[in-house]
């Protein structure tokens, strides 16, 4: 398998973050002339087509006033008048034709209008196209994924290690059904795979789960991650890189977990005041490995990306995926992060199955390497319903 290309760095912000930041900026500057962006956001959420009524003006102005308590009443009144004027102008521009709406969006987002027209002709709203352009997602990739992903998921997919996965137009339920999802403890797991087996496309709802921004590790320099990971893996095993790329699936996953455990001491890096003051918040996984401290997310991200490194040049692993938790106990899922292993294979009768298991590198670290600790995260009888619950939440 050819080595995966490196892609432009991920900035760590989801499209939802970007929308919120854009709205916050608009609210802070009541008379800044960016009111048409507020209209674009409301219009986008309602399907991209509506004419503002008085109630719409009132709602927007009330929202601005709640966020602008520091302004004097005179400033707020003046801002309200300007806001009404700008929203009305934006509505008239929209009613006058899409071209004016595209031009208005291109100006507000500071993007090339001709390129924005290309996104619009490909089926994206001007707002969607502007967001994808700001995130430097190529139109060709956006079009390829448009039928299975929402616009904010396209941006997340482009910057994830799952970027070029072959996907199916069917869902997990359509391909495998409840009886085709098989769970086994990681300590009992056997992943039999070969170079000759056909590549199995990933069901579209599972692909959405893979690339959801909440499941994509924060990394800005994957080459640096690869360098740290392989150096630690070589030190742990005494193997060369070529030998590492020949390991079977279970050994590759275990090695990724061992690297996470050897390299990281557990610390709540996003909430510990002293750590945040020293290193900043939302640090990347490679920075966490450099520092030598990380929370459950960084442990799980290390396993997820470490397996991706080993998989890049090992065609035997093409139908095996390591992602964030899937199908775990709901209460624990809200506060903890671990990994799910998925293997698209066949049972002894030749029927396609989705073989699943779980491993928690944080507990693996703290409980002396006992692989069976993955059991505490699961109500085994409810595993399959919880898989479908998680996939539904990724829509």
Q: Give the residues across from 374 on adjacent strands.
A: none
Q: What is the DSSP string of 276-290?
A: HHHH-SS--HHHHHH
Burial class (CB in 10 A: 0-12, 13-18, 19+), 351: exposed
Sign of the torsion formed by the C-alpha atoms of 295, 301, 304 and 308:
negative
Closest residue by Cα to residue 114 from 95, 125, 99: 99
- 61-73 pLDDT, tens per residue? 444 444 444 455 6
Statement: residue 347 has pLDDT above 50: yes
Separation between Cα atoms, residue 44 and residue 118, nearest integer Å: 18
Domain extents in the chain: 15-158, 172-393
Q: If you count them, how many residues does the chain have?
A: 395
**Structure confidence at residue 91 (pLDDT):** 59
How much is the average pLDDT of 31-55? Answer: 42
**Structure confidence at residue 270 (pLDDT):** 92
Separation between Cα atoms, residue 169 and residue 148, nearest integer Å: 7
Of 377 and 224, which is predicted with more confidence?
A: 224
**Which tokens belong to 316?**
């035997």
The 339-346 sheet, strands edge to edge? 181-183, 352-359, 339-346, 320-324
Q: Cβ distance 254 to 264 under 8 Å?
A: no
The Cβ of residue 393 has, within 10 Å, a number of other Cβ atoms equal to: 11
Phi, psi of 191 (to 5 degrees): -110, 95
Q: Cβ distance 265 to 259 under 8 Å?
A: no
Q: What is the DSSP string of 221-236?
A: -HHHHHHHHHHHHHHH
How much is the average pLDDT of 167-177? Answer: 93
DSSP class of 374:
G
Statement: residue 212 has pLDDT above 90: no
Closest residue by Cα to residue 382 from 194, 130, 178, 232: 178
DSSP class of 188:
G
Statement: residue 304 has pLDDT above 90: yes
Helix (H, G, I), strand (E, B) or coil at 187: helix
Q: Give residues with Cβ within 8 angstroms of 246, minimum separation 6.
A: 314
Separation between Cα atoms, residue 267 and residue 317, nearest integer Å: 32
**Structure confidence at residue 143 (pLDDT):** 93
- H or E, element range at 167: none
Residue indicated by tokens 């399907």: 47
Separation between Cα atoms, residue 135 and residue 158, nearest integer Å: 10
How much is the average pLDDT of 273-302? Answer: 94
How much is the average pLDDT of 251-265? Answer: 93
Q: Cβ distance 317 to 4 under 8 Å?
A: no
| Percent of the chain with pLDDT strictly greater than 70 | 72
Q: Cβ distance 352 to 180 under 8 Å?
A: yes
């Amino acid at each position: 398998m050819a080595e995966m290309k490196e892609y432009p760095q991920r900035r760590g912000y989801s499209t939802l973050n970007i929308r919120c930041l854009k709205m916050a900026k608009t609210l802070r500057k009541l008379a800044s002339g960016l009111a048409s962006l507020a209209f674009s956001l409301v219009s986008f959420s309602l399907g991209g087509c509506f004419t503002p009524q008085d109630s719409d003006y009132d709602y927007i102005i009330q929202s601005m006033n709640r966020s602008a308590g520091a302004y004097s009443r005179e400033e707020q009144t003046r801002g309200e008048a300007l806001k009404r004027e700008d929203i009305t102008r934006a509505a008239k521009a929209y009613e006058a034709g899409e071209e004016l709406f595209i031009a208005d969006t291109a100006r507000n987002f500071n993007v090339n209008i001709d390129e924005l027209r290309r996104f619009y002709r490909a089926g994206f709203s001007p707002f969607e196209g502007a967001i994808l352009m700001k995130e430097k997602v190529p139109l060709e990739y956006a079009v390829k994924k448009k039928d299975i992903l929402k616009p904010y998921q396209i941006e997340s997919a482009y910057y994830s290690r799952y970027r070029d996965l072959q996907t199916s137009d069917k869902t997990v339920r359509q391909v495998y059904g409840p009886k085709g999802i098989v769970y086994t403890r990681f300590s009992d797991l056997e992943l039999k795979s070969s170079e000759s087996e056909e590549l199995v496309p990933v069901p579209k709802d599972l692909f959405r789960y893979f690339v959801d921004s909440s499941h994509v590790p924060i990394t800005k320099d994957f080459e640096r991650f690869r360098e740290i990971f392989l150096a630690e893996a070589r030190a742990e095993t005494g193997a060369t890189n070529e030998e590492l790329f020949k390991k079977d699936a279970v050994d590759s996953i275990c090695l990724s977990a061992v690297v996470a455990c050897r390299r990281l001491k557990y610390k709540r890096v996003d909430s510990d005041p002293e750590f945040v003051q020293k290193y900043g918040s939302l640090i990347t996984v490679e920075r966490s490995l450099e520092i030598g401290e990380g929370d459950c997310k960084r442990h799980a991200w290390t396993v997820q990306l470490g397996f991706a490194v080993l998989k890049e040049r090992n065609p035997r692993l093409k139908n095996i995926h390591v992602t964030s938790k899937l199908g775990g106990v709901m209460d624990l899922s809200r506060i903890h992060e671990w990994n799910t292993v998925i293997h698209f294979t066949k049972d002894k009768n030749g029927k396609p199955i989705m073989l699943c298991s779980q491993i928690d590198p944080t507990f693996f670290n703290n409980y002396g390497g006992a692989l069976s600790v993955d059991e505490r995260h699961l109500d085994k009888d409810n595993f399959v319903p919880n898989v479908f619950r998680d996939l539904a939440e990724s829509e």
